[in-house]
């Protein structure tokens, strides 16, 4: 089957009014990725070499999004929404190129399993002209039933048209199909619109193909894989299913999740074996973690790279561009952004490191800030190997702290510090006996006068 060419036509034109959103429905995200992008990934995993996105509502926004998650996809606009067959025909130019297999998929089924698509393609390779993907929902009410006879699919019967006996059938239409490319356009062009809604239904090709003595069969996908998303409740359900799958895979691959149900991954999270993740950790897009790391509770990580045996958190935030090298530590209530923390360096607590390099073995004291932004531009702070930055220090970028440099606590450093130098950047302390009492009395008198004046006004 690997020699067979395949086009995936993904229907993504629906307005999705039940989402109650200005955003096109299929761009709502599961695991940090638009639903339709999950469908694209499944199609590609099943061997689709061509992608055709049929768009409608929010067409410009869809094109911009598609350029990011499916740069090789063609987009076709369905200007009038006249049914599913009408939507597929919008991609006529792509279908007519003569692919062996045509997969028809829906952009609001983000959990679709590539294996289900591969099975459908295999049936095409075995000679079927149309393969309908079915599923068995816990409650089949409302779904079209798949009517089979002698191993062949003879019809898809909408529930309102089912006999009482047919309503007992639990095998239902998931909507997705695989169609032999040699027959696709002929079958689609034969679909009429003589029905109550005056629409062209893709399901009609089952009876059309059967009438032409073409083989029509059904394959089965899991209920979860075929789950379509129509509102925010179902979107949350899909997210929960996706996360459950990902946690399961992570643990089987050697990752310890102490409280799995509290850890949330993104679609592209990479996490190595022997990593330990404590409760309530959130991984945004673009996170790569090597083996043996420890991620403590309540940490928020996105766009970050964490090398082997690093220690992060609790309550740490790693923002895009954070790059922790071997055995680096970023402790509680620390934020790191667009910065390299080199081997064995420690950023232990209550600290912000942004647009910076912290050299190997350096120690960053509590309350340290790299002052990297002047309101208009960002500037770089370079902290050398083995440097010691005392607590409550402000490093005003651009600035360099040399290897082995030592910054006294409470300093504001505005000039670069040479290797092994000690730098102070604070005012000399002055103590005036009795002045504290005098100030308190003065402030109290002023406050009383202000209060008295406010009372007189009323």
Q: What is the pLDDT of residues 174-229, one digit of tens each?
A: 999 999 999 999 999 999 988 878 889 999 999 999 999 999 999 999 999 999 99
Domain(s) of CATH 2.160.10.10: residues in the chain = 246-423
pLDDT at 1: 53
Q: Is 457 helix (H, G, I), strand (E, B) or coil?
A: helix
Q: Is 202 helix (H, G, I), strand (E, B) or coil?
A: coil
Residue-level length of the chain: 458
Catalytic residue among 28, 38, 349, 458: 349
pLDDT at 293: 98
Residues in CB range of 119: below 8 A, 6 or more apart: 219
CA distance 217 to 149: 10
CA distance 457 to 163: 84
Task: Spell out, as residue ranges, where the chain has pLDDT lower than 70.
Answer: 1-2, 458
Instruction: Measure the CA angle with vertex 49, ends 48 and 54; round to 5°.
Output: 75
Of the options 3.90.550.10, 3.30.160.70, 3.30.530.20, 3.50.50.60, the CATH number for the domain spanning 6-220: 3.90.550.10
CA distance 72 to 74: 7
CA distance 75 to 90: 10
Residue 349 bears catalytic tag: yes
pLDDT at 458: 64
CA distance 52 to 50: 7
> What CATH code would you report for 246-423?
2.160.10.10
CA distance 7 to 200: 21
Chain center to CA of 335: 22
pLDDT at 26: 95
Domain(s) of CATH 3.90.550.10: residues in the chain = 6-220
pLDDT at 428: 84
């Amino acid at each position: 089957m690997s020699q067979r060419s395949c086009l995936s036509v993904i229907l993504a034109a629906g307005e999705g009014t039940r989402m109650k959103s200005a955003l096109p429905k299929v761009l709502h995200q599961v695991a940090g990725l638009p639903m339709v992008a999950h469908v694209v990934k499944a199609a590609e995993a099943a061997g689709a070499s061509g992608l055709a996105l049929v768009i409608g509502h929010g067409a410009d926004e869809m094109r911009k999004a598609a350029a990011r998650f499916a740069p090789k996809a063609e987009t076709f606009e369905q200007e009038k929404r006249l049914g599913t067959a009408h939507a597929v025909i919008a991609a006529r130019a792509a279908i007519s190129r003569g692919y062996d297999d045509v997969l028809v998929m829906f952009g609001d089924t983000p959990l679709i399993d590539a294996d289900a698509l591969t099975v459908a393609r295999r049936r095409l390779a075995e000679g079927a002209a149309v393969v309908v993907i079915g599923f068995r929902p816990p409650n089949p009410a409302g779904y079209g039933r798949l009517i089979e006879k002698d191993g062949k699919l003879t019809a898809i019967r909408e529930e309102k048209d089912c006999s009482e006996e047919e309503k007992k059938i639990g095998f239902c239409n998931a909507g997705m199909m695989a169609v032999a490319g040699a027959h696709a356009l002929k079958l689609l062009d034969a679909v009429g619109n003589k029905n109550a809604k005056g629409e062209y239904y893709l399901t009609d090709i089952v009876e059309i193909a059967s009438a032409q003595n073409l083989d029509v069969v059904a394959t089965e996908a899991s209920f979860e894989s075929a789950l379509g998303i129509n509102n925010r409740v179902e979107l949350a359900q899909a997210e929960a299913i996706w996360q459950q799958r990902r946690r399961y895979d992570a643990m089987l691959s050697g990752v310890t999740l102490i409280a799995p149900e509290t850890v949330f991954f993104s679609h592209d999270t990479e996490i190595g074996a022997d990593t330990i993740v404590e409760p309530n950790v959130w991984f945004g897009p673009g996170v790569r973690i090597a083996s043996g790391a420890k991620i403590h509770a309540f940490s928020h990580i996105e766009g970050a790279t964490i090398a082997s045996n690093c220690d992060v958190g609790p309550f740490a935030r790693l923002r895009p561009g954070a790059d922790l090298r071997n055995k680096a530590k970023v402790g509680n209530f620390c934020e790191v952004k667009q910065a390299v923390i080199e081997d064995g360096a420690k950023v232990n607590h209550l600290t912000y490191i942004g647009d910076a390099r912290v050299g190997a073995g350096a120690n960053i004291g509590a309350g340290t800030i790299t002052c990297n932004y002047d309101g208009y531009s960002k500037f770089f702070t370079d902290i050398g190997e083995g440097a010691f930055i005392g607590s409550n220090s402000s490093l005003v970028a651009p600035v360099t702290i040399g290897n082995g440099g030592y910054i006294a606590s409470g300093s504001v450093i505005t000039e670069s510090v040479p290797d092994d130098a000690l730098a102070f950047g604070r005012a000399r302390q002055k103590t005036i006996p009795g002045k504290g009492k005098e100030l308190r009395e003065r402030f109290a008198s002023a406050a009383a006068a202000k209060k008295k004046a406010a009372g007189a006004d009323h």
